[in-house]
């Protein structure tokens, strides 16, 4: 099981007790941070980090609305594109250097 470090502001914690949207905002923030950490783990590097072990590059985000018990949550799902160059055909039918498959 992976462990994540979640950074919360005091405003987020106080929002749990002061307004109705507090739980929704907290769940949204935690879920987005977990998605960011998972994308960095799958890519093999953080934003703008140059490493030889990089497996993919970031390609923006997809905004997704998710209905949860606490309300509608806006998730920013990171998009990753693989940079594998091979002469084999991938399942999508592309071959060679034109092969780019989104991982998330």
Residues 75 and 31: beta-carbon distance below 8 Å: yes
Domain-located, residue 3: no
Residues in the chain: 104
Rounded to whole angstroms, the Cα distance separating 12 from 32 reads 14
Residues 2 and 40: beta-carbon distance below 8 Å: no
Each of the 104 residues of the chain gets a pLDDT tens digit; together they read 567 777 778 888 888 888 878 888 888 988 998 898 888 888 888 877 788 888 888 888 999 999 988 889 999 999 988 765 444 444 554 444 444 444 44
* pLDDT of the residue at 65: 94
Nearest to 44 by CA among 4, 85, 80, 86: 80
Residues 79 and 102: beta-carbon distance below 8 Å: yes
Domain that holds residue 16: 10-96
* pLDDT of the residue at 99: 44
pTM listed for this prediction: 0.69
Domain-located, residue 78: yes
Domain-located, residue 101: no
Grouping H, G, I as helix, E, B as strand and the rest as coil, residue 70 is: coil
Question: How many structural domains does the chain have?
Answer: 1
Domain-located, residue 75: yes
* pLDDT of the residue at 56: 84
Torsion of CA 11, 12, 13, 15, to 10 degrees: 80
Domain-located, residue 82: yes
């Amino acid at each position: 099981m992976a462990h994540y470090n979640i950074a919360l502001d005091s405003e987020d914690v106080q929002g749990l007790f002061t307004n109705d949207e507090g739980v929704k905002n907290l769940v949204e923030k935690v879920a987005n941070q977990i998605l960011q950490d998972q994308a960095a783990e799958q890519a093999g590097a953080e934003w703008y980090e140059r490493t030889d072990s990089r497996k993919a590059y970031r390609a923006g985000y997809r905004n997704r609305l998710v209905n949860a018990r606490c309300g509608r949550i806006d998730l920013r799902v990171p998009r990753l594109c693989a940079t594998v160059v091979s002469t084999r055909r991938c399942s999508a039918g592309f071959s060679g250097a034109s092969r780019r498959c989104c991982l998330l």
